Amino acid sequence: MKAALLGHGTIGVGVDRIAAALPEIDIVRVLALETDDEILGRHTYDADDILNDPEIDTVIEVMGGIHPAWEFLSRAMEAGKNVVTANKAVVAAYYRELVALSLEKKVAFRCTAAVGGGIPWLVNLSREKQGDCITKIGGIMNGTTNYILSKMDHEGADFSEALKEAQRLGYAEKDPSADIDGDDVRRKLAISASIAFDGFADENDVPTAGIRSCLSEDLSFAHERHSVLKLAAFASRKELGISAFVSPVLVPESSLLSSVPGNLNLVTLTAEHAGELSFAGQGAGRFPTAKNVILDLLDIEAGNGAFYAPETQPLAIKNDSELLPWYFRTESPEGIPEDVVEAREGRRLITKPISVFQAFSLLENIQKSDSAAFMAGILS
């Protein structure tokens, strides 16, 4: 395999170093903003040097972002090149187009590292649905927020302190919005749901609440209920579509989800015959993520081009039948109708079981007057 690398940052360097020890993979060109001794003689500033080179059969994209990644990936496929990417943003945004192009041009398209970093989640998700029906997926899909909540919970740090430490350790970006607002998880859930349920889950249709406004009192409330606060994602098969959402949740202390420490991820699928299967590990990081990119390359070399169903019709996201009690902390509790309130204590309250759709509608209404309001689903 003669491959080219688009991007030579954290993940790109990891891919390059692992590939150097593998005779099956020869990375002959590297697109990067800067050059160094590691890529001397292979470096280019111009993507055309890669996309127009007939000797290069596979393009590895680890640049991040949607543009120009999408343009580079689509041009690579149009030129008959296989594509491997770790870029969840571009896959979530252009999943249907990437699958369609790979089928049309008869090239490989793989993105195992786009969800779960070093966890072999997507490839096993695809494997399990062969001869079985996946009914539900979900779990902790972002190590940064799990680290922040764990530090607040176990060390008593406030949100800003925990975030700064996550940034110091390299878990959080300088601009952490994608993590703490739940956008990163939403993209990963959309990709996972698309593969699990044989369609296209549009990330823009997935309601999402993050942890930006989380306070120590919210974690204290969880402890009062013998629960732990986590940011999680959930999707399940419904008769006329799927239910899907991202939100903080209170999970029982006895549950597997509550015990996930630090910056680890844990994702679970439920299938009719297999039951529950869980996958845990590093959801990010140079070498864990690079390892999954390398495995995709080796799979292509072995003739396993893709694991995505050709059916990518839109999946209707319907959250009106998924019922949960919800915790709200707000300075405007009057924004929640009394007929849905189970218990109220000052600015904290618990609702009766209501739909995910209704809970997010209440949060949206409350945030008009209280931007720091916080909401979490209560799992049993």
Q: β-pairing, 26-31 with 43-44?
A: parallel
Which of the four pLDDT bands, split at 50, 70 and 90, describes residue 5? very high
* Chain-centroid distance, C-alpha 180: 13
In this model, does residue 310 exceed pLDDT 90?
no
Measured between alpha carbons, how far is residue 233 from residues 46, 173, 207 in Å?
38, 21, 10
Report angle CA 80, 83, 89 to the nearest 5 degrees: 135
Spans of all domains in the chain: 2-119+286-301, 319-380
Q: 6-10, 127-131, 160-164, 357-361: which has the minimum mean pLDDT?
A: 127-131
Give the pLDDT confidence score for residue 131 in this predicted structure.
86
Report angle CA 49, 13, 280 to the nearest 5 degrees: 125
pTM > 0.85: yes or no: yes
pLDDT digits 0-9 by tens, 151-172: 999 999 999 999 999 999 888 9
Active site residue 105: no
Please provide the CATH number assigned to the domain covering 319-380: 3.30.70
pLDDT digits 0-9 by tens, 201-250: 999 999 999 999 999 999 999 999 999 999 999 999 998 899 999 999 99
In this model, does residue 81 exceed pLDDT 90?
yes
Evaluate whether the domain defined by 2-119+286-301 bears CATH number 3.40.50.150: no
Which of the four pLDDT bands, split at 50, 70 and 90, describes residue 76? very high
Give the pLDDT confidence score for residue 315 in this predicted structure.
96
Backbone angles phi, psi at 221, to 5 degrees: -60, -40
Of the candidates 72, 128, 122, which has an alpha carbon nearest to the alpha carbon of residue 98?
A: 72
Give the pLDDT confidence score for residue 82 in this predicted structure.
98
pLDDT digits 0-9 by tens, 92-121: 999 999 999 999 999 999 999 999 999 999
In this model, does residue 130 exceed pLDDT 90?
no
Backbone angles phi, psi at 90, to 5 degrees: -75, -35
In this model, does residue 255 exceed pLDDT 80?
yes
| Residue 69: Cβ within 10 Å count | 22
Q: β-pairing, 241-252 with 264-271?
A: unpaired
Catalytic residue among 88, 105, 188, 318: 188
